[in-house]
Structure 1
Amino acid sequence: MTAATKTKQASRLAAALEHASGDKRFKILEVHMKKHQFRQDALIEVLHKAQELFGYLEDDLLLFISAKLKLPPSRVYGVATFYHFFTLKPQGEHTCVVCMGTACYVKGADKVIEALQENLKIKSGETTADGKVSLLTARCIGACGIAPAVTYDGQVAPKQTAATALEKINQWK
């Protein structure tokens, strides 16, 4: 590792420990972490609070959490990207999450996502240009008995088809 790389890492860590922006949300988040005694096993609760405060989990926020909980950044990033309810980019006014788990996929989730992508003119993981709708996929939302399942603004809808999904999305336009 070069001296420049070490210096860069040290300055990023220092910035993460005491966020230079002065944004009060970082202090609120730190109080939340203190309530959990900075325990590493409170990572998911901390990420939820961070997303509630900031709207999404950007890189320097993840580094801040990593430093405060004394966790490797890769672990924090790994958890943040594994669960569909965490997002690393600003989201639209509405979110649509199509479950792509085995049961949902077998029952037509692929057709639902294709129809939504075509209608919204975006790919999964993107937000429409007007900022109205974010389209996401999830590995599994745990609703296999009602497959294919789609989550609209956090509410799970059962047995979705391309037609029912488009009907719901068109209400948001």
Structure 2
Amino acid sequence: MSANSAKILNQLMPANRMSDIDHWISKYPKDQKQSAVMSALRIVQEEHGHLTTELMNAVAEYLDMPPIAVYEVASFYTMYEHKPVGRHLINVCTNISCMLRDSAGVVEHLEKKLGVNLGGTTEDGRFTLRSVECLGACVNAPMMQVDKDYHENLTAESIDKVLEQYQ
């Protein structure tokens, strides 16, 4: 990594978050620091809310990777956001198990309650609503994930209670 590339990312990230990235880099052999790309992207996204081209380019330079390699990772995994999202991200599972237990009703209730369609963000910036494939909680379908928290066996009433928890 050149001093210039470190400077670019250092200008975009606070020192404590750079330390977090360096911690992940240290887990790999010196010639394989690109292995920390997913952790670096996660940390950058936590700090900025989403990944811009500028941020991904800075990560690429910091990890001595071609920018396209960083873009490929960031576009392959659904955990990386490329546009601003609400303070809380709601992911509703719509795969087969949840579908059979009325995930469509969950989506419909959330759209009505929040006043947005799938992919939308509430006017106050509180929630972004998305549908996703399996979240691995099939036994307790239908389910949704809000930020990192799973909420299962959903009903209209339980959804309303869940939403109250997130300000």
* TM-score, normalisation: structure 2: 0.73
**Structure 1 Cα separation of the partners of residues 17 and 76 of structure 2:** 21
Q: Give the aligned partner of residue 5 of structure 1.
A: none
Q: Is the counterpart of residue 47 in structure 1 residue 41 in structure 2?
A: yes
Judged with a 3 Å threshold, the aligned counterparts in structure 2 of structure 1 residues 102 and 74 are, in CA distance, closer, same or farther, namely: farther
Q: Give the aligned partner of residue 81 of structure 2.
A: 87
Q: Give the aligned partner of residue 114 of structure 1.
A: 108
1:143 counterpart letter in structure 2:
A
2:46 counterpart letter in structure 1:
E
**Structure 2 Cα separation of the partners of residues 112 and 142 of structure 1:** 17
Greater Cα shift, 101-110 or 150-159 = 101-110
1:150 counterpart letter in structure 2:
M
1:65-122: CA deviations, max 9, x gaps? 1233243434423433443433222332332211223322232222211221233222
**Structure 2 Cα separation of the partners of residues 75 and 161 of structure 1:** 42
Judged with a 3 Å threshold, the aligned counterparts in structure 2 of structure 1 residues 75 and 144 are, in CA distance, closer, same or farther, namely: farther
* TM-score, normalisation: structure 1: 0.71
Structural RMSD (CA): 3.0
Q: Where do 1:87-166 residues align within 5 Å?
A: 87-166=81-160
User: Do the aligned partners of 2:93 and 2:142 also contact (CA within 8 Å) in 1?
Assistant: yes
Aligned length: 158
**Structure 2 Cα separation of the partners of residues 41 and 57 of structure 1:** 18
Q: Is the counterpart of residue 59 in structure 1 residue 48 in structure 2?
A: no
Task: List runs of 5+ in structure 1 lacking aligned partners.
Answer: 1-14
Identity of aligned residues (%): 28
